[in-house]
């Protein structure tokens, strides 16, 4: 087959790579994108989207079960719902198929040459792609965008296979595990562990640190801890997984408790969710002359690596491993290659964990702001005082919106929330930070009633000392 040349070669078709390719195509650059595993990468095929579909299905099932066993809102069901795991997985796969097919169409519409295969570099600008039929194609590019993403971390003493699954396996189970042990109480463990609990599994967590979801402060994770407790989920913190043992025809996860003693938990499946690592091996990075620390590729705000004309983005470039960060980098890199004066330099990147209840954060927590030498004021608004929240059956879960601002000029340094559906507030939170908003800007923006967004305005008012829907000290 003939060799190919192009202005831009993108390796990796995830939420970092495919928007980079689409934007490059829009800008008139002759662009090729290569991916082996399906357009949309981890995010669309085995990450963000399938996990959120799975969580939605679990929510629906739990809600229906609730109405069957204890009628509420004047609604009862005469029989409990039945779960067909294969049906759930098939529905999730349908959504994945629609979105990945959509990405392929978008690439085509932008004039991008999308090639399915594995790329391996022989120098910084040349790679050989092995196609599905085993044939190869050499591609030489003037600019290269590396977007190879990340893979699940495997524990050497708990290798994936059989009853030990990672997030990919957890999204494809044929049968519901009666007993699920989750190793790792971070993003993936909590999102999927909670979903499995809602589907009816008995779920137990083993977390190495002294609390779950350590990226958020304790005030934010308290409502999640409470939900886990109220729903019979046991969390073993300061505990380390050790390995699997078979005994009497049953499988057990052995772990070391905080006292250093070995204990065991029976498990039909063990979900190992102890992090993800950038994919830096298996595609010739070592032949490209790009400086790296063996863990991820370091880039500047233009996503430039140490090699001229070679850019990297997304999970490959380290924390935070988030799809929207990868996408924003991808768009900027294409524009930079097209000669635009731009950079990837956000004030802050919002993150959401789709737990029960959800938690969202952007910018500094009060403690982090203080560590940065700031003197801060905070405002907290309990969502139990928000009409929309109550009308959506919220209110009893301890949800709130919290705003952190610099005391001297009221510039907002961070916004956090925990509660049902608060993920949908993340856009306004991020916008406020990006626009350099002050408390008065948020409090002075007319927020629609009844919506959860009123909770942000009230948190700003609370920081200013005069909230309307909670009592404030008289001034
Ligand atoms: P990836 O999406 O990993 O894509 C990289 C692509 O490159 C892959 O398709 C891979 O096959 C391909 N590739 C690699 N090397 C080569 C090669 N040599 N040749 C050809 N192709 C190659 N993030 C969020 O923001 N929100 C969420 O809700 C969320 N939920 C998640 C849930 C789960 C279960 C998981 C696992 C992750 C989740 N994430 C979430 C993280 C998110 O998926 C990643 O941050 C995001 O996918 C990173 O995008 P990327 O483009 O850098 O890499
Ligand atoms: P994580 O870093 O969020 O959590 C891993 C947890 O495992 C940590 O709490 C850690 O202390 C614990 N751990 C590590 N080794 C252990 C051991 N031997 N025994 C017990 N516990 C152990 O990682 P993750 O949950 O695998 O997720 C990976 C990344 O994917 C996240 O960092 C996140 O960026 C991304 N992600 C994002 C979302 C989202 O945005 N909603 C959802 C899923 C994943």
Q: What is the pLDDT of residue 253?
A: 98
Q: What is the pLDDT of residue 472?
A: 80
Phi-psi region of 213 (alpha: psi -120 to 50; beta: other; left: phi over 0): left
Q: 416, 449, 466, 469: which is the annotated catalytic residue?
A: 449
Taking the CA atoms of residue 22, residue 26, residue 30 and residue 35 in that order, the dihedral angle to the nearest 10 degrees is 0
Q: What is the pLDDT of residue 83?
A: 98
Q: Beta 113-123 vs 31-35: how paired, if at all? A: parallel
Rounded Cα–Cα distance for residues 345 and 349 (Å): 10
- Cβ-count burial of 332 within 10 angstroms (0-12 exposed, 13-18 middle, 19+ buried)? buried
CA of 48 to the centre of ligand 1 (A): 9
CA of 274 to the centre of ligand 2 (A): 5
Q: Which residues line ligand 1 (CB under 6 A)?
A: 11-17, 34-37, 41-43, 47-48, 51, 118-119, 147-150, 167, 188, 279, 283, 314-316, 321-324, 326
The closest-lying atom of ligand 1 relative to the alpha carbon of residue 316 is 52
Q: Which of 190, 174, 380, 133 is nearest to 269 (CA)?
A: 174
Q: What is the pLDDT of residue 1?
A: 58
The angle subtended at Cα 349 by Cα 148 and Cα 280, nearest 5°, is 20
Task: Name the phi and psi angles at 222, rounded to 5.
Answer: -55, -45
Q: What is the pLDDT of residue 390?
A: 97
CA of 312 to the centre of ligand 2 (A): 23
**Token pair in block for residue 116:** 């399915």
The closest-lying atom of ligand 1 relative to the alpha carbon of residue 34 is 20
The angle subtended at Cα 315 by Cα 309 and Cα 316, nearest 5°, is 45
Rounded Cα–Cα distance for residues 323 and 13 (Å): 12
The closest-lying atom of ligand 1 relative to the alpha carbon of residue 327 is 51
| Contacts of residue 356, Cβ cutoff 8 Å, sequence gap at least 6 | 194, 198, 224, 227
CA of 42 to the centre of ligand 1 (A): 3
Q: What is the pLDDT of residue 2?
A: 77
Mutate to test the pocket of ligand 2, among 188, 325, 327 (most ligand atoms within 8 A of CB): 188
Q: Which of 418, 408, 424, 409 is nearest to 459 (CA)?
A: 418
Mutate to test the pocket of ligand 2, among 166, 204, 271, 275 (most ligand atoms within 8 A of CB): 275
Q: Beta 113-123 vs 250-256: how paired, if at all? A: unpaired
- 449 is an active site residue: yes
CA of 51 to the centre of ligand 1 (A): 13
The closest-lying atom of ligand 2 relative to the alpha carbon of residue 188 is 25
Rounded Cα–Cα distance for residues 350 and 175 (Å): 35
Phi-psi region of 306 (alpha: psi -120 to 50; beta: other; left: phi over 0): alpha
**Token pair in block for residue 369:** 């702001």
Q: Is 273 in the pocket of ligand 2 (CB under 6 A)?
A: yes
Cβ atoms of 310 and 147 within 8 Å: the answer is no
The angle subtended at Cα 348 by Cα 275 and Cα 285, nearest 5°, is 50
Rounded Cα–Cα distance for residues 134 and 137 (Å): 10
User: Hunting for tokens 């499946």 — which residue is that?
Assistant: 269
Return the residue whose CA atom lies nearest to atom 33 of ligand 2: 321
Q: Is 210 in the pocket of ligand 2 (CB under 6 A)?
A: no
The mean pLDDT values, 10 residues at a time, for the chain of 475 residues are 91 98 98 96 98 98 96 95 98 98 98 98 98 96 98 98 98 98 98 98 98 95 98 98 97 98 98 98 97 94 97 98 98 98 98 98 98 98 98 96 98 98 98 98 98 98 97 73
Rounded Cα–Cα distance for residues 351 and 426 (Å): 8
Q: What is the pLDDT of residue 284?
A: 98
């Amino acid at each position: 087959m003939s060799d190919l040349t192009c202005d831009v070669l993108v390796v990796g078709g995830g939420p970092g790579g495919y928007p980079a390719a689409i934007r490059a195509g829009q800008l008139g650059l002759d662009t090729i994108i290569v991916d082996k595993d399906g357009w949309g990468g981890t995010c669309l095929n085995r990450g963000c989207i399938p996990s959120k579909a799975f969580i939605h299905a679990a929510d629906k099932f739990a809600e229906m079960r609730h109405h069957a066993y204890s009628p509420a809102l004047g609604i009862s069901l005469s029989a409990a719902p039945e779960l067909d795991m294969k049906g759930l997985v098939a529905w999730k796969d349908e959504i994945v198929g629609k979105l990945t097919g959509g990405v392929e169409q978008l690439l085509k519409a932008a004039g991008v040459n999308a090639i399915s295969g594995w790329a391996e570099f022989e120098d910084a600008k040349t790679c050989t792609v092995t196609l599905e039929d085993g044939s190869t194609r050499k591609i030489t590019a003037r600019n290269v965008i590396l977007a190879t993403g990340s893979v699940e971390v495997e524990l050497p003493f708990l290798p994936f296979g059989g009853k030990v699954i990672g997030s990919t396996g957890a999204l494809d189970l044929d049968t519901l595990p009666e007993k699920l042990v989750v190793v790792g109480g971070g993003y993936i463990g909590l999102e999927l562990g909670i979903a499995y609990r809602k589907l009816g599994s008995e779920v137990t967590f083993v977390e190495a640190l002294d609390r779950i979801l350590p990226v958020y402060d304790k005030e934010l994770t308290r409502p999640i801890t409470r939900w886990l407790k109220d729903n019979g989920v046991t969390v073993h913190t300061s505990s380390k997984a050790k390995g699997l043992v078979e005994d009497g025809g049953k499988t057990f996860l052995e772990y070391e408790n905080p006292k250093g003693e070995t204990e065991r938990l029976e498990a039909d499946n063990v979900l190992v969710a102890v992090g993800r690592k950038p994919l830096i091996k298996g595609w010739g990075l070592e032949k490209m002359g790009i400086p790296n620390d063996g863990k991820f590729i370091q880039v500047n705000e233009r996503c430039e690596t140490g090699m001229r004309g070679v850019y990297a983005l997304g999970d490959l470039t380290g924390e935070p491993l988030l799809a929207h960060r990868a996408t924003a980098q991808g768009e900027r890199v294409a524009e930079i290659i097209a000669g635009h004066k731009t950079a990837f330099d956000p004030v802050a990147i919002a993150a959401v964990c789709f737990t029960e209840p959800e938690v969202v954060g952007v910018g500094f927590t009060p403690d982090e702001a203080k560590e940065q030498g700031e003197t801060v004021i905070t405002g907290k608004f309990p969502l139990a005082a928000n009409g929309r929240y109550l009308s959506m059956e919220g209110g009893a879960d301890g949800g709130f919106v919290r705003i952190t601002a610099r005391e001297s000029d009221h510039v907002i340094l961070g916004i956090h929330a925990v509660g049902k559906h608060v993920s949908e507030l993340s856009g306004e939170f991020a916008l406020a930070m990006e626009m350099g908003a002050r408390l008065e800007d948020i409090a002075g923006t007319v927020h629609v009633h009844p919506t959860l967004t009123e909770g942000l305005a009230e948190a700003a008012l609370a920081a200013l000392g005069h909230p309307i829907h909670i009592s404030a000290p008289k001034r």
